[in-house]
Amino acid sequence: MKSSSICKELKATEKCFRVQQYENGDFIELFHEHVPSSRISAQESFQFLRTIIIKNHPLGSSEILRTFLNSRGKNPARIQFFNSHTEHPEPGVIRKYFCSQGINTWYDEVVSFSDFRR
C-alpha cells in the first residue's frame, strides 16, 4: 500500500476522502473530496469507504452480505474482504485506511487543531 501525503487543501474542520486503485504498477486516483467534519461521523465515514470498495469490485449480493457478517458461527461463512488500519501521517492528523484487492480508500481528519500545520 502506498501512503500518500496529506492533501495541501485540507482544512482543520474538514475530512478529506480519497480513493486510489492500483493498476499496472501505478496508483490512479478515482475520488478526492472534502466535506465538513461535522457533517459525517466516524462510523458513516468508515461505511462510505467500505461502500466505495464494494462499488469497485464485481461482488454479488450474497458476497456483499457476507462481508457484513460477524465472526460468530460458520454458516454462512463470513468473507473477510477488507483490511483497515490507522496512522498519523503528520502532527494533528489521523488517517483511517480501508483497503481490498488493489483499492485503497482513506480519509484524513484533523484531531488536534493546535498541532495541525504549525
Distance CA 116, CA 111 (A): 8
Q: How many folded domains does the chain comprise?
A: 1
Q: Which of 89, 117, 104, 81 is nearest to 23 (CA)?
A: 104
Q: What share of the chain is helix, strand, coil (3-state, %, to 5)?
A: 20, 35, 45
What is the mean predicted confidence (pLDDT) over 84-104?
A: 92
Q: Is residue 106 part of a domain?
A: yes
Q: Is residue 88 part of a domain?
A: yes
Average pLDDT, the chain: 90
* CB neighbour class for 3 (10 Å; exposed up to 12, middle 13-18, buried from 19): exposed
Q: How confident is the model at residue 57 (pLDDT cuts 50, 70, 90)?
A: confident
Q: Is residue 82 part of a domain?
A: yes
Q: Is residue 4 part of a domain?
A: no
Q: How confident is the model at residue 2 (pLDDT cuts 50, 70, 90)?
A: very low
Provide Rg for the chain, Cα atoms: 16
Q: Is residue 84 part of a domain?
A: yes
Q: Which domain holds residue 39?
A: 14-110
What is the mean predicted confidence (pLDDT) over 48-73?
A: 88
Query: Which residue type, as a one-letter code, is found at position 106?
Result: W
Q: Is residue 37 part of a domain?
A: yes
What is the mean predicted confidence (pLDDT) over 30-44?
A: 96
Q: Is residue 8 part of a domain?
A: no
The pLDDT of residue 1 is above 60: no
Contact 16, 37 (CB under 8 A): no
Q: Is residue 50 part of a domain?
A: yes
What is the mean predicted confidence (pLDDT) over 77-85?
A: 86
